[in-house]
Amino acid sequence: MTRALRRVDAEPTAVLAALRDALGGGPALFVGDTGLPLPAQVPQRVALVVETSGSTSKPKRVALSSDALLASAAASASSIGGHGQWLLALPVHYIAGLNVLIRSITSGFEPVAVLTPSFDPRAFAAAADTMAKAVPHFTSLVPAQLASILAQPEAVRAAARFERILLGGQQAPPTLLEAAQAAGIRVTTTYGSSETGGGCVYDGLPIGNTRARIAEGQVELSGAVLAEGYLEDPERTDVAFADEAGTRWYRTGDTGSLTGDMLTVSGRLDDVIISGGIKVSLADIERVVRGIDGNEDAVVVRASSERWGEVPVVVSTRAIELGALRDLVRAALGPAAAPARAIRVDAIPLLSSGKPNRVELQRLAR
């Protein structure tokens, strides 16, 4: 059996209404523009189709059921202390923004949206001031947004009034989390993806009935929040999702480790380069570079090298003396990890999700 799929522009009020309809059994929903045609019909279980950002590869269309979306909302509410009013500060064509609207539907409170083309901490503070007074306030942000809030005193005061701020999209620098805590802002880091209905690991611990395991160094996740797969792409679905002894697992492509139930994500399987015959993790280099004061936004990407095959390149908004940088990384990770170049840019190019645009950064590195 199938149901209709409709496309809705990425306008919060229209998307909220379409989500209510889709969760109630109406047409499935795709939000925003796309460069490829959409099918008129999707499988009956599919309520939402989310196109991934394509920060490192061509986009995929993730098909999510109502059950998965509602399971995600319920697990989140249970983990952060219940329901309340949500402030929408993320694009609604990505899963994190869509989840703010879904949680609003399940909580019974209308969301408040920050309606600016790009994130503005003053607009965030103004929107927060309009929220209902006698209920808990929640929001979801990415690290770049939280950093801009911490630089604006009025926004800091507004953020400190929130019961909980979910922070995801990418790994947050420890210095950012420390600064938020010092400012009285209650932050919960989240880990997940469109394929897991958004964040399903909070502060390192799986929520709801989500389970995590490490298989051959890769983080795999199971639970009610998993997507149906990739729309009209059975080959990619078979690669990313596996059934094992009656349990369905999503292969995240991330590397990590488990200590008891605590999950630590260390990087991406596909961010490992071979430089001079030695495996080098770009994520490991990135952590070292971001530990340098003022370089918390630095990104490390790959570039080709006739001599070494591939080499790491650092892109940052601050000038870094290459010799000292190479010495620091070499001491921490070995000589093969020493960056070949350090590129200064006025601003790190970002996707609308707030993640670094690694495709553009790799173009700069070339």
Residue 275 has pLDDT above 60, yes or no: yes
Predicted pLDDT of residue 248? 97
Confidence of residue 167 (pLDDT cuts 50, 70, 90): very high
pLDDT per residue as tens digits for the range 319-331? 899 999 999 999 9
Short-list 142, 184, 130, 200, CA closest to 166: 142
Output 103 or 352, whichever has higher pLDDT: 103
pLDDT at position 308, please?
A: 85
Share of the chain above pLDDT 70, in %: 98
Residue 76 near residue 104, CB atoms below 8 Å:
no
| Per-chain mean pLDDT for the chain | 93
What is the average pLDDT across 159-188?
A: 94
Alpha helices per DSSP H over 81-170:
95-107, 121-129, 143-150, 153-159
Cα 111-107-70 angle, rounded to 5 deg: 105
Residue 240, Cα to own-chain centre: how many angstroms?
18
Which domains are assigned to the chain? 2-264 (3.40.50.12780), 276-365 (3.30.300.30)
Between 237 and 357, the more confident residue is 237
Q: What is the pLDDT of residue 53?
A: 57
Q: At what angle do helices 143-150 and 121-129 cross, to 10 degrees?
A: 80
In this prediction, residue 55 carries a pLDDT of 46
Q: What is residue 119's three-state secondary structure?
A: coil
pLDDT for the residue 56: 47
pLDDT tens track for 38-65: 999 999 999 999 998 554 456 799 999 9
Q: What is the pLDDT of residues 61-102, one digit of tens each?
A: 999 999 999 999 999 999 999 999 999 999 999 999 999 999
- pLDDT tens, 116-134? 888 999 999 999 999 999 9
